[in-house]
Amino acid sequence: MSNRQDGLAEALDSEQRAVTWFYGLLDAARERTERSLRQVYAGGATATSRQARVEREVTASERARRLAQLNAVERGLCFGRIDDATGASMYVGRIGLRDDRHESVLIDWRAPAARPFYVATATDPGGLVRRRHLHLKDRQVVGIDDEVFDLEGMSEGERRTLVGEAALLAALRRGRTGRMGDVVATIQTEQDRVIRASLQGALVVQGGPGTGKTVAALHRAAYLLYTHRDTLERRGVLVVGPNPMFLRYISQVLPALGETQVVMTTVGEMFPGVRAAATEAPATEAVKGDLRMAELVAAAVRDRQRLPDGAELTVELDGLRLRVPRETCLRLRERARVVRLPHNMARKLYVTELLKELARAEARALEESLHIDELDVDDPELTEPLDLEGDLDELDLELASTRLWGEPAVRRAVDELWPELTPRRLVAELLADPETLRALAPEGLAWQELVRPAGAPWTVGDVPLLDEAAELLGEDDSARRVAARRAGEEQAESELYAREVLTVTGVAEQGVFERADVLAERHADDGPGLTTADRAAADRTWAYGHVIVDEAQELSPMAWRMVMRRVPARSLTVVGDLAQTGSAAGARSWGEVLDPYVGGRRREERLLVNYRTPAEIMRVAADVLRAYAPDEEPPVSVREGGAEPRAVRMPVQELPGLVARELEEIGEGRLGVVTPDGRHAEVARLFPRGDLDAPVVVLTVTQVKGLEFDAVVVVDPAGILAQSEKGGQDLYVAVTRATRRLTVTYEGDLPPVLSRLAP
Ligand X SMILES: Nc1ncnc2c1ncn2[C@@H]1O[C@H](COP(=O)(O)OP(=O)(O)OP(=O)(O)O)[C@@H](O)[C@H]1O
Q: What are the binding residues for ATP?
A: 207-214
Q: How far is the CB of 45 from ligand X (least distance, A)?
A: 46
Q: Which of 61, 191, 573, 745 binds ligand X (CB under 6 A)?
A: 191
Q: Which of 172, 299, 432, 451 binds ligand X (CB under 6 A)?
A: 172
Q: Which of 241, 423, 614, 706 binds ligand X (CB under 6 A)?
A: 706
Q: Which is nearer to ligand X, 180 or 598 (CB)?
A: 180
C-alpha 536/C-alpha 232 separation (Å) is: 12
Q: Which is nearer to ligand X, 441 or 618 (CB)?
A: 618
The answer to whether residues 77 and 83 touch, using CB atoms and an 8 Å cutoff, is no
Q: Is 214 in the site for ligand X (CB under 6 A)?
A: yes
Q: How far is the CB of 109 from ligand X (least distance, A)?
A: 12
Label residues 376-405 b or e (16+ Cβ within 10 Å = b): eeeeeeeeeeeebeeebeeeebeebbeebe
Nearest to 537 by CA among 259, 302, 236: 236
C-alpha 490/C-alpha 467 separation (Å) is: 32
Q: Is 76 in the site for ligand X (CB under 6 A)?
A: no
CB atoms within 10 A of CB 518: 19
Q: Is 187 in the site for ligand X (CB under 6 A)?
A: yes
Q: Is 611 in the site for ligand X (CB under 6 A)?
A: yes
Q: How far is the CB of 246 from ligand X (least distance, A)?
A: 9
Q: How far is the CB of 626 from ligand X (least distance, A)?
A: 18
C-alpha 473/C-alpha 427 separation (Å) is: 11
Angle between the N-to-C axes of helices 292-303 and 557-565, in degrees from 0 to 180, rounded to the nearest 10? 70
The answer to whether residues 135 and 145 touch, using CB atoms and an 8 Å cutoff, is yes
Kindly give the pairing relationship between strand 262-266 and strand 237-241.
parallel
Q: Is 328 in the site for ligand X (CB under 6 A)?
A: no
Q: How far is the CB of 705 from ligand X (least distance, A)?
A: 7
Stretch that binds ligand X, among 44-52, 184-192, 305-313, 422-430 (CB under 6 A): 184-192
Distances (CA, A) of 625 to 200, 209, 635, 639, 743: 33, 11, 11, 19, 18
The answer to whether residues 8 and 161 touch, using CB atoms and an 8 Å cutoff, is yes
Q: How far is the CB of 238 from ligand X (least distance, A)?
A: 18
Q: How far is the CB of 213 from ligand X (least distance, A)?
A: 3
Region 575-594 residues binding ligand X, contact defined as CB under 6 A: 577
Residue span 340-379 as binding mask against ligand X, x where in contact by CB under 6 A, dash where not: ----------------------------------------
Q: Is 637 in the site for ligand X (CB under 6 A)?
A: no
Q: Which is nearer to ligand X, 195 or 426 (CB)?
A: 195
Nearest to 598 by CA among 202, 239, 204, 237: 202
% helix, strand, coil for the chain, step of 5: 50, 15, 35
- CA angle 99/100/103 to nearest 5° reads 45
Q: How far is the CB of 549 from ligand X (least distance, A)?
A: 12
Stretch that binds ligand X, among 183-191, 382-390, 491-499, 722-730 (CB under 6 A): 183-191
Q: Is 186 in the site for ligand X (CB under 6 A)?
A: yes
CB atoms within 10 A of CB 247: 18
The residues, any chain, with a CB within 8 Å of residue 123's CB and separated by 6 or more, are none
C-alpha 732/C-alpha 578 separation (Å) is: 12
Q: Which is nearer to ligand X, 134 or 183 (CB)?
A: 183
Long-range contacts of 660-663 (CB under 8 A, 24+ apart): 662/711, 662/713, 662/741, 662/743, 663/695, 663/696, 663/711
Q: How far is the CB of 593 from ligand X (least distance, A)?
A: 17
Region 539-578 residues binding ligand X, contact defined as CB under 6 A: 577
Q: Which of 7, 178, 210, 717 binds ligand X (CB under 6 A)?
A: 210
Q: Is 168 in the site for ligand X (CB under 6 A)?
A: yes
Q: How far is the CB of 218 from ligand X (least distance, A)?
A: 8
Q: How far is the CB of 184 from ligand X (least distance, A)?
A: 9
The answer to whether residues 238 and 547 touch, using CB atoms and an 8 Å cutoff, is yes
Residue span 729-758 as binding mask against ligand X, x where in contact by CB under 6 A, dash where not: -------x----------------------
Q: Is 299 in the site for ligand X (CB under 6 A)?
A: no
Stretch that binds ligand X, among 196-204, 211-219, 399-407, 420-428 (CB under 6 A): 211-219
Residue span 141-160 as binding mask against ligand X, x where in contact by CB under 6 A, dash where not: --------------------
The answer to whether residues 577 and 213 touch, using CB atoms and an 8 Å cutoff, is yes
Q: Which is nearer to ligand X, 354 or 638 (CB)?
A: 638
Long-range contacts of 12-17 (CB under 8 A, 24+ apart): 12/141, 12/144, 15/81, 15/132, 15/134, 15/141, 15/144, 16/140, 16/141
Q: How far is the CB of 288 from ligand X (least distance, A)?
A: 24
Q: Which of 125, 143, 209, 645 binds ligand X (CB under 6 A)?
A: 209
The residues, any chain, with a CB within 8 Å of residue 605's CB and separated by 6 or more, are 190, 193, 194, 197, 203, 204, 205, 206
For CA atoms 588, 591, 596, 601, the dihedral sign is positive
Strand partners, 481: none
Stretch that binds ligand X, among 15-23, 203-211, 281-289, 480-488 (CB under 6 A): 203-211
Label residues 132-145 b or e (16+ Cβ within 10 Å = b): bbbbbeeeebebbb
Q: Which of 188, 284, 556, 724 binds ligand X (CB under 6 A)?
A: 188
The residue count for binding ligand X (CB under 6 A) is: 23
Q: Is 170 in the site for ligand X (CB under 6 A)?
A: no
What is the contact surface with ligand X in residues (CB under 6 A)?
Answer: 168, 171-172, 180, 183, 186-188, 191, 207, 209-215, 577, 611-612, 706, 708, 736
